[in-house]
Amino acid sequence: MGTANELTGSVFSQYSKVENYFNLKKENERLSKENTRLINLLKADFALPDTTKKFVTDSIPVDTLGTRRKYLYMQAAVVHNSTNLPNNFITLHRGTSQGVNRGDGVYGPGGIVGEVVDVSNNFSVVMSLLHKQSSTSVKIKKTGEAGKLEWDGTDPSILTLRDIPKSVKLQRGDTVLTSNYSDKFPPNLMVGTIDQVIQEKSTNNYLLKVKSATDFKSIQTVWVIHNLQRNEQNELEEKVKNKK
């Protein structure tokens, strides 16, 4: 009887470990969905139109003051990723059938990731920040000066920030965030921290090396950011350009 009880207990112990493993996977999925729900409640995802007379009627009013949603986050699984090429791409298992559009921004657990450049029914391809044609408007958190974020094709953990004037007081460790000038990302999303301040001799601007907040080698889940007001903004800007 003692031997039988010991054997039964051993079997139940192993079964419990297996059951806990699958329960942990379900719990991780639940937490990821909850994170998506909470991100969609951030104040930065909503914007009042710049007028006291009219409200933009795009979608999802939140309160009686007329605040309207501007950004919508959609969870997506990474099914392919590269980091060791001059031009790197990420493939997501979410496409037009799930609401992804070309031009949407992509945000990861640590910071911004890139921009959707092509979409099929169930998949989308993201131009990673680790792409030599990538260019994103960002800003220095403590001063507000905006510049252009690029990649020089070498270190996948280091990005390059240009167009910040030398008159700005900077130091290593200063935070870099998304700016108000991007139509792909809400302002104030994490980008990274300044790792090196280089004074270019040929210009009046710094050449800043930024330590990316995103670990591109370990991305598994991201959020696609859809700007619900992008088309309206782009159409108006194109209309003005054509008048010139």
Residue-by-residue pLDDT tens, the chain, 244 positions: 555 544 444 554 554 555 555 567 776 777 777 778 777 777 666 665 444 333 333 444 554 556 678 899 999 999 999 999 999 999 999 999 999 999 999 999 899 999 999 999 999 999 999 999 999 999 999 999 999 999 999 999 999 999 999 999 999 999 999 999 999 999 999 999 999 999 888 889 999 999 999 999 999 999 999 999 888 888 998 889 888 6
C-alpha radius of gyration, the chain, whole number: 22
Residues 6+ apart with CB under 8 A from 33: 75
Distance of CA 103 to the CA centre of its chain: 12
Q: Which helix (H) or strand (E) holds 133?
A: none
At 28 the pLDDT is 75
Determine the pLDDT at residue 178.
97
Distance, CA of 90 to CA of 115 (rounded, Å): 10
- Residue 155 has phi, psi (to 5 degrees) of -85, 120
The tokens describing 161, both together, are 């920030």
Check residue 161 and give its pLDDT.
97
Both structure tokens of 212: 């990316």
Residue-level pLDDT at 244? 65
pLDDT at 20: 56
Pick the CATH number of 136-215 from 1.10.3720.10, 3.40.50.920, 2.40.10.350, 2.40.50.140: 2.40.10.350
Task: Tell me what pLDDT residue 113 has.
Answer: 98
Q: Which residue has 């080698």 as its token pair?
A: 217
Alpha-carbon span 243 to 237, nearest angstrom: 10
* CATH 1.20.1250.20 fits domain 45-131+217-243: no
Of 185, 195, 133, 127, nearest to 161 by C-alpha is 195
For the entire predicted model, the pTM comes to 0.76
| pLDDT number for residue 47 | 60
Task: Give the number of other CB atoms < 10 A from CB of residue 211.
Answer: 17
What is the per-residue pLDDT for 59?
46
Within its chain, how far is the Cα of 210 from the centroid? 16
pLDDT of the residue at 243: 82
